[in-house]
Amino acid sequence: MATQTAQTTGLQTESLTGIHWLGIALAAVTGLLHLGLGAAFLASDSLTNPLAWSFIFAGIGFGVGIAAILTDYRRRLMYLLGIPFTAGQIVAWYALNAPDFSPPGLLDKAVQLLLIVVLVVLYRQSKPTPGQ
């Protein structure tokens, strides 16, 4: 007799807490901002502008992270990967913009710093699962 395993697909939000939703909101804010900046650079410059594509890549990265959390795809790993990914955004921004920081850029970095704090908290609260 063959056994069947239940495969869950789609959103898996039942186990998300307030801190998860805060992290999702923060990632959405910074992700949408990066996508918007990337699109603006592409529209005003050219399709070969590496800065435009780096913004788009970052925005997509935040979107993928959100999707992984919402679908319960290896959440603990996503928290861990999200920390250096977000920190890298801050370092790159600083390197490209110092010392001329704009208010929107500073606001985005504050959002990203808070996102890193949320990711660290979520990682520390999560329990390793077999294979992780």
Residue 38 lies in a domain: yes
The domain total for the chain is: 1
Find tokens 């050219």 and name the residue. 46
- In 1-132, which ranges are continuous DSSP H helix? 18-44, 50-70, 75-97, 103-125
The whole-number average pLDDT for the span 50-70 is 96
Residue 98 lies in a domain: yes
Residue 15 lies in a domain: no
Which residues 6+ apart lie within 8 Å of 66 measured at CB?
24, 27, 28, 31
Residue 35 lies in a domain: yes
Give the Cα separation of 70 and 11 in Å (integer): 5
Please tell me whether residue 13 adopts helix, strand or coil conformation: coil
Give the Cα separation of 124 and 68 in Å (integer): 18
What is the extent of the structural domain holding 88? 26-125
* pLDDT tens digits, one per residue of 61-93: 999 999 999 999 999 999 999 999 999 999 999
Q: Please provide the average confidence, as pLDDT, over all residues in the chain.
A: 91
Residue 57 lies in a domain: yes
